Amino acid sequence: MENYTKKICWPFLEKDEEIPLFTVELDLKAIHSINSPNSYHTTTFILDTGYDGDILLKRDLYQQLGYETRQLPEEEWDVGETVTGELLRLPATLANCKLENLVLEVRVETIHSLIDNLIGRNLISQLETWITGAQKKTCILFSN
């Protein structure tokens, strides 16, 4: 592993499944937010390599954060496919995602039937992510 100056780790989420879920906590803030323009909301996310986007939020949190008022036009929404093959439109907005001093502009999408908040491959690929099964942790690594 390269020389990293800092790492932040979160424990695996162990539900009633045999395989633990890899989690991280990130701060989100809608771009041009009306409700709370200067505040971030800390949220726990599960890393999901089956989702190719940035962030997929549960609908109630998406609404609570006021993201519906800042949505992209419908023609810019993606179409997602569920594990059962159902095609669904994904309402979306743009937000800032913050972890320590790293701030990234991300696309936040939502869907009615979502159980957990997810981070997809597009955002995962922008982070130095380290998963250690022995320690049961997911870590984000930072270098100079």
pTM score of the predicted model: 0.87
pLDDT tens-digit series, residues 41-58: 999 999 999 899 999 999
pLDDT in the model for residue 141: 92
pLDDT at 35: 53
Structure tokens that stand for 93 in this block = 């907005």
Edge-to-edge strand list for the sheet holding 129-132 = 6-11, 137-142, 129-132
pLDDT given for residue 54 in this prediction: 97
Domain positions in the chain: 6-142
Quote the CATH superfamily of domain 6-142: Acid Proteases (2.40.70.10)
User: Which residues does the chain have with pLDDT short of 50?
Assistant: none
Instruction: Give the per-residue pLDDT at 36.
Output: 52
What is the pLDDT at residue 112?
A: 85
